[in-house]
Structure 1
Amino acid sequence: MKITKMATGRYSWLLVGLLWIVAFLNYLDRILITSMRDPIVVEFKLSDAQFGLLTSVFLWSYGLLSPVGGFFADRYSRKKVILFSVLVWSAVTVWTGFVGSFHEMIAARLFMGVSEACYIPAALALITDYHKGRTRSLATGLHMSGLYAGLALGGIGGYVATLWGWRCGFQLFGAFGLLYSFVLLYFLKDHQVTPANSAGSKSNKAEKDISPFKAVKILFAERSFYVLMFYFGILGMVNWLVYGWLPTFLKLHFNLSLGEAGISATGYVQVGSFIGVLLGGLIADRWFRTNKRSRLYIVIIGFTLGCPFLFLMSTTPAFSMAVIAMIIYGISRGINDANLMPILSQTIDARYLATGYGCLNFLSTIIGGVMVYLGGRLKDANVDLSIVYQVSAIAMLLACWSLMAVKFKNIE
């Protein structure tokens, strides 16, 4: 039995490593488009609102399908849902490198949203299955650092577009994802609690007990779930305004080149976020030994300190100060990302963990998609993006304080 536990412990960290690469590709493939804005706009003769719509369509389809992807991961197999997601979104990424019109680009972004919607709820739930209590925040945070790496290197799209054309990046990274899916097919394993589970008893019980109607009834019976919905909605608004329009803001506000703006917008925030997931995961897991609300408190503290720096970034005339502000805000976001799924796991019925996260993802990304499109409309109307970021900082601060109302039902 000791050998089995040791093997499971080793695999729980191997799992994080395997999914780190998937998380990297997940955000790299979706964010490439923002750092390649100029050549895409020129080729297809787009307005800022139309370019914003490319990200909005992705987010709307991603959000709408997130609860469905989460439900399939809860009811059937997390491994199969992850594999399906990686295969389809990688194929769509390759397709994006060959599109011939704006309407075809819209279609590709829609299908990318549908396919990527299945990944995050299933992956975070699988990590939560393998990591209990004292390692959960750190494991989640390390996985989320893959997203940051993808966002950071997504900024290299501006350089790729300059050297080889904007289509090359989509074709290259999409092909890599297709190849990596075969690695996952061999190494990825669903969590098995007991030997009896491997014989199929868990699967049969899950298929009998879990239904869409029961999921909705149980999730929305929790008052704390509504608080988390409000928080995720504001988080999605702020995150996607940063993801979608920060390269453009930096380019205009500080007179940077396309490549400099792209790598700065993704790089500095992600450096801070990487520091944040490590600090947030380690501190929350250690604090958890004496305070079961540690993960909630560390998120509130993180954004209370970080949101003023998002405000500062949008107002300072000095690029060096903006860099510092982006890094510190990134730290607060990393602390948040390391602890969101662990907080949810303490709040709702464990049988519907992936479904619950999918519902929150739905709300977050739908609102995020609206805001990315609205950001383009505001820019077309000559509204300075700095005002958008100032409002975002204040809204995020208020949203994090609302988390004090969350009540826990699980202590694990």
Structure 2
Amino acid sequence: MARTFTRSADPPPAARSSAGYVLGLLFAGNLLNFYDRALPSVVLEPIKDEFGLDDTQVGLLASAFVLIAALAGIPLGRLADRVPRAAVAGWGLFVWSAFTAAGGLLTNFWAFLASRVGVGVGESSYAPATGSLLADLYPSERRSRAHSLFMLGFPLGTLLAFLTAGGLAVAFDSWRAPFLIAAFPGFVVAFLVLRIREPERGAADPAGGLAGGVPGEDSAPLPRGPKAAAEPVARALSLRSLMRVRSMYGMLLAFAGYNFAAYAIGTFLTPVLQRHHDLSLVGAGLVGGVVVGVTGLVGLVAGGRVLDRAARRSPEARVRVAAYSLVGAAAFSLAGLAAGHGALWQLVVFLSLGYLLGIVYLAAAVPVVSDVIRPEQRSGALGLLFAVGYLLGGAGGPILVGVLSDALAAASASGTEASALGLRTALMITVPLAFGVAAAGMLLAARFIRADRDAMLAAPLTP
């Protein structure tokens, strides 16, 4: 008979914290995640001037952060399948807050780059652990809404960074001030996250398909303790078993495409507003906050409701709605980034619409993975998803846009005008294309989502 998977290090179900409290606390951590992540982008021009950087080096700064986050996400996701997820998320939050503060103290480019790498390692632990935890608090038909509320930390944290970081830098006459100030709430929230009492793994899934384990094992709970649990859990988390889930290929492609576009916009929106539209640091931060903050908030709130309504019709309906939203994101972002000098309204209106439609995808990504991956594998699967998406998309976006920007600037007239034209053109080429790739990935995933979900519920995955 099959051995039943039980948690080796999770607390008993009677000790679980309420779903609403856990969701609110994890949202607070996610808000700080994206606030700290956005800080260099908001004050990028002062950083660039102090360290004497070109756009390629700026792209390297952003890409190094994402690259390390991608590589660290896989082992940290696997770790969260073996130990309490609150511990992984809480200590990750503590680490990235400490490195954020360090970034405000270091005085040369390479040391600052190293601090951003440290932030990336800490933040890479958060999404896989919290995504798995939330999946055990809410059933499938409510997960998009719950995850969209969690992901409100993305637009709200980014909006808060755009609205406050420039003002803090001006008020303290230093771009370093926001980094130092941001660390303190991170330590407080990290302490509270570490005190979360978790639900059973698989608690919110239909019971019928989740009693099985690894074929060939005796029917008995696993002995408690890391040594007793390590071998079967490691087998269950094997990459081979995850990649038997065919919809994962489309999800990986979609997450890479979306992250390419999102990180390219997040890294270079403030500079293009300053160079091409002649805005001040504070003014560019305010406009950027509208484009990526306010619209992101609307997109996630509305998107979560729409996607859950679609999921009640069929598993693949949620995926198709996200795909169509990404198609719209590609079209509107092209219209916005094509805005000429003096047509700031065009950029704000159309790029905001593109960003709004694009972020709907984020309300679908984790719930879709939770629909097709068994509970004891979800943190590892999400770690893989975030790793591939960040590696190919999040890391590739800023560096490719930076290289292309410098090349286009060098091919045109010299000076600030060339720099503005090169950056705007680089974004106009790459961002819509990346959203299109993401849409194609979701349409690919939609072809297999029903069969993969049925297989997950009906029988255990064979490691």
Q: Does 1:92 align with 2:89?
A: no
TM-score (norm 1): 0.91
Partner Cα separation in structure 2 for residue 206 and residue 153 of structure 1? 42
- Once the two structures are superposed, residues 72-121 of structure 1 have per-residue CA deviations (whole angstroms, 9 ceiling, x without a partner) of 11121101101110111111111111102112111111111111111111
1:348 to 373, 392, 397: 373
Q: Does 1:335 align with 2:398?
A: no
Letter in 2 for 1:192: E
Residue 424 of structure 2: aligned partner: 385
Residue 128 of structure 2: aligned partner: 121
Partner Cα separation in structure 1 for residue 375 and residue 29 of structure 2? 24
1:270 to 287, 293, 300: 293
Residue 35 of structure 1: aligned partner: 42
Partner Cα separation in structure 1 for residue 98 and residue 156 of structure 2? 21
2:398 to 372, 376, 382: 372
Kept in 2: contact 1:302–1:335 (CA 8 A)? yes
* Percent pairwise identity: 25
Residue 184 of structure 1: aligned partner: 193
- Once the two structures are superposed, residues 335-381 of structure 1 have per-residue CA deviations (whole angstroms, 9 ceiling, x without a partner) of 11111111111233332211111112112212222331222222222
Partner Cα separation in structure 1 for residue 229 and residue 137 of structure 2? 18
> Which segments of 5 or more consecutive residues in structure 2 lack a partner in the other structure?
1-11, 204-220, 410-421, 458-463
Partner Cα separation in structure 1 for residue 180 and residue 100 of structure 2? 7
Quote how far apart the aligned CAs of 1:261 are. Answer: 1.4
Superposition pairs for residues 10-409 of structure 1, below 5 Å? 11-155=18-162, 156-164=164-172, 165-186=174-195, 188-192=196-200, 207-211=230-234, 214-317=237-340, 318-367=343-392, 368-381=394-407, 382=409, 383-406=422-445, 407-408=448-449, 409=452
SS where residue 136 of structure 2 aligns? helix
Partner Cα separation in structure 2 for residue 89 and residue 34 of structure 1? 17
Quote how far apart the aligned CAs of 1:279 are. Answer: 1.4
Out of 158-167 and 21-30, give the one that drifted further.
158-167
Out of 223-232 and 385-394, give the one that drifted further.
385-394
Partner Cα separation in structure 2 for residue 338 and residue 202 of structure 1? 35
Letter in 1 for 2:385: L
Quote how far apart the aligned CAs of 1:62 are. Answer: 0.6
Quote how far apart the aligned CAs of 1:66 are. Answer: 0.7
Kept in 2: contact 1:74–1:352 (CA 8 A)? yes
SS where residue 194 of structure 2 aligns? helix
Specify whether residues 207 and 48 from structure 1 end up closer, same or farther in structure 2 by C-alpha distance, changes over 3 A only: same
Quote how far apart the aligned CAs of 1:126 are. Answer: 0.7
Moved over 3 A (4+): 4-8, 199-208
Count of aligned positions? 403
> Which segments of 5 or more consecutive residues in structure 1 lack a partner in the other structure?
none
Out of 176-185 and 86-95, give the one that drifted further.
176-185
Kept in 2: contact 1:24–1:146 (CA 8 A)? yes
Partner Cα separation in structure 1 for residue 229 and residue 150 of structure 2? 26
Residue 217 of structure 2: aligned partner: none
Specify whether residues 272 and 182 from structure 1 end up closer, same or farther in structure 2 by C-alpha distance, changes over 3 A only: same
The structure with the largest alpha-carbon Rg is 2
- Once the two structures are superposed, residues 271-316 of structure 1 have per-residue CA deviations (whole angstroms, 9 ceiling, x without a partner) of 1121111112112222322222222022012112222110011112
CA RMSD, Structure 1 to Structure 2 (Å) = 2.5
Specify whether residues 171 and 264 from structure 1 end up closer, same or farther in structure 2 by C-alpha distance, changes over 3 A only: same
Partner Cα separation in structure 2 for residue 61 and residue 349 of structure 1? 27
SS where residue 210 of structure 1 aligns? helix
Specify whether residues 313 and 223 from structure 1 end up closer, same or farther in structure 2 by C-alpha distance, changes over 3 A only: same
TM-score (norm 2): 0.81
- Once the two structures are superposed, residues 307-339 of structure 1 have per-residue CA deviations (whole angstroms, 9 ceiling, x without a partner) of 211001111232122211132122212311111
Kept in 2: contact 1:96–1:167 (CA 8 A)? yes
Quote how far apart the aligned CAs of 1:6 are. Answer: 12
